[in-house]
Structure 1
Amino acid sequence: MAYRIQMVVDAYDPHAQAEWWAETLGWAVEPSNEDFIRQMIAEGYATEEETTIRNGVLVWASAQAIAPEEELGSRDRRRILFQAVPEAKTAKNRVHWDVRLDGDDKDAVRAKLEARGATFLWEAAEGPHSWYTMSDPEGNEFCIS
């Protein structure tokens, strides 16, 4: 049996991270269901303190997910969930992802990412394949190749 998975990333600011990664990957921030959130508050399953307003929309404060836009609403969508944690990142990631550029110029993409808050860490190569290791605005490592 095959299982579906989602990646979950700890984040100090899950909404900012979700927006940054959605733009980076060409994905979309999953839309909020404000009626559902209000219903959960009205029925006592959540509190107002567990919500916030982001870009004029009522959202859960503790998490935000992204997915490819064409997969939004699909149960089988690829999904990355950013969840709030109180502490900043302090050590190297044990897992990271590689962003495959599919022919886009690696130096141009690096410059765009740096302009948006990413940090270049190092360049590496194995045989004819080379990549840049970078970190996102919260310090999570990822590679572009």
Structure 2
Amino acid sequence: MDLSIQVTLDCTDPHTQAAWWAQTLGWTVEPIEPGFIRKMVDAGQASEADTMDFNGELVWRIGAGICPVDQVGQMPRQRMVFQRAPEPKTVKNRMHLDLHPGTDKDVQREQLIARGARFLYAGNQGPFTWYAMADPEDNEFCIS
């Protein structure tokens, strides 16, 4: 079986989360065609309530996607989707991302904290060490 996967993250502000994670991963927010969105609303296939303005652009309210810059428009592709959830996160994630920086973990941790991440704790097992972190909406991830 040949499968590709996409990681989807529930959040309260999908466009802000998409922008934060795109910068974190060195990816890009997938382009959205405002003209297509307007056409769908004008044709009655979507409503104004399905849209919103984000940084001066008309976008779908429900979510946003990111992918590596060189994979924009390709199928399949590595992808993360951020979809609006009606409630904020309240419990620990059952799954999280592990980031493997090409730079020193301490440097990466400080850069992410400066951009709104939160340091949770340092962990280790045998020779392996990691930092547990939380993104701006408190979704856990590790730097290892």
Instruction: After superposing the two structures, state which structure 1 stretch, 74-83 or 50-59, moved more.
Output: 50-59
Aligned residue type for 2:64? Q
Q: Give deviations 1:102-125, integer Å, cap 9, x for gaps.
A: 3x0111110111111111011111
The residue number in structure 1 matching 2:61 is 61
SS in 2 for 1:20: helix
The residue number in structure 1 matching 2:129 is 130
Runs ≥4 residues deviating over 3 A = none
Q: Give deviations 1:91-110, integer Å, cap 9, x for gaps.
A: 000010100113x0111110
SS in 1 for 2:37: helix
Deviation at 1:4, TM superposition (A): 2.0
Aligned residue type for 1:86? P
Aligned residue type for 2:22? A
Question: Partners of 2:91 and 2:129 in 1: how far apart?
Answer: 24
Question: Partners of 2:73 and 2:142 in 1: how far apart?
Answer: 28
Instruction: After superposing the two structures, state which structure 1 stretch, 131-140 or 49-58, moved more.
Output: 49-58
Aligned residue type for 2:131? Y
SS in 2 for 1:8: strand
Over the aligned positions, Cα root-mean-square deviation in angstroms equals 0.9
Unaligned runs of 5+ in 2: none
* Residue 31 (1) aligns with residue 26 (2): no
The residue number in structure 1 matching 2:113 is 114
The residue number in structure 2 matching 1:142 is 141
SS in 2 for 1:4: coil
Percent identity (aligned): 51
* Residue 93 (1) aligns with residue 93 (2): yes
The residue number in structure 2 matching 1:19 is 19
Unaligned runs of 5+ in 1: none
Q: Give deviations 1:18-61, integer Å, cap 9, x for gaps.
A: 01100000000011111221121122110112111112211101
Q: Give deviations 1:75-99, integer Å, cap 9, x for gaps.
A: 1111100000121100000010100
State the TM-score, normalizing by the size of structure 1. Answer: 0.95
SS in 2 for 1:134: strand
The residue number in structure 1 matching 2:80 is 80
Aligned residue type for 2:134? S
